[in-house]
Structure 1
Amino acid sequence: MVAVWGGLVALLPRLSPWVVGAVVLAWCVAVESFQLSGWPLRWAGEWPPIVLVFGTVFDPRDLLVYAVTASLVTVVDVVVRRSLNRRQG
């Protein structure tokens, strides 16, 4: 999750932290939902490193963890950016 956030911020630094948080959460929910298809588990048998991107099996508790983590990362991003803007301006 934080890797997706970091990638977005690095590629699109002017993007609002709230948009970044929403995109990250949507990505995580999409990946978790994709696990319901069974494809990530099959792919993991063929090439184990794929687990690092797609995981293997759906766990609904992960959705709550993603929502909480995305919220925390977004709030920290907002606070840090505001702090930096105050120091620069």
Structure 2
Amino acid sequence: MLASGASVLDSSGALAQYSGTVLYAAMVYAGVFLVAPTARPLVAGGVAIAFCWLVELLQLTGWPAELSERSVLARLALGVEFDASDLFWYVAGVLPLAVVHHALVRPTSTQE
């Protein structure tokens, strides 16, 4: 049951806020491979982090907040307000995926 005035999209708690940021970054990392399926994992990680940081810095303009008032999808994709700690959490969401992905697809040298 939601408290009075609470929203399904309420992410005011620290766990909800940071886990959502990490998951958003992981989703962007996966999305890079939809656009560029042959991208190397570490390059894709850099692109994903850069995109997330760009969206976060865009929040300094107030434009995403205006769009978020009119659209739930805009709120989910662009956020509402700048939070400097999100810059760290984006890296925390992408870097482990890129490192593990790199380790899994790295060509192994076979000695005969």
- TM-score, reference length from structure 2: 0.67
* Identical positions, percent: 31
Q: Which amino acid aligns with 1:74?
A: A
Distance 1:13 1:45 in 2: 34
Unaligned 5+ segments in structure 1 are none
Partner of 1:26: 50
| Structure-to-structure mapping, 1:41-60, within 5 angstroms | 41-60=65-84
Partner of 1:16: 40
Distance 1:60 1:15 in 2: 28
Distance 2:92 2:26 in 1: 12
Distance 2:51 2:78 in 1: 11
Partner of 1:76: 100
Unaligned 5+ segments in structure 2 are 1-24
State the Cα deviation string for residues 2-40 of structure 1 (Å, max 9, x = none): 222212223322211111000000000000000010111
**Consecutive aligned runs of 4 or more in structure 1 exceeding 6 Å deviation:** none
Aligned length: 84
Richer in helix (by share): 1
Give RMSD over aligned pairs: 1.5
State the Cα deviation string for residues 63-82 of structure 1 (Å, max 9, x = none): 01112222111112112223
1:64 equivalenced with 2:88 (yes/no): yes
Q: Which amino acid aligns with 1:28?
A: C
Q: Which amino acid aligns with 2:52?
A: C
Larger radius of gyration: 2
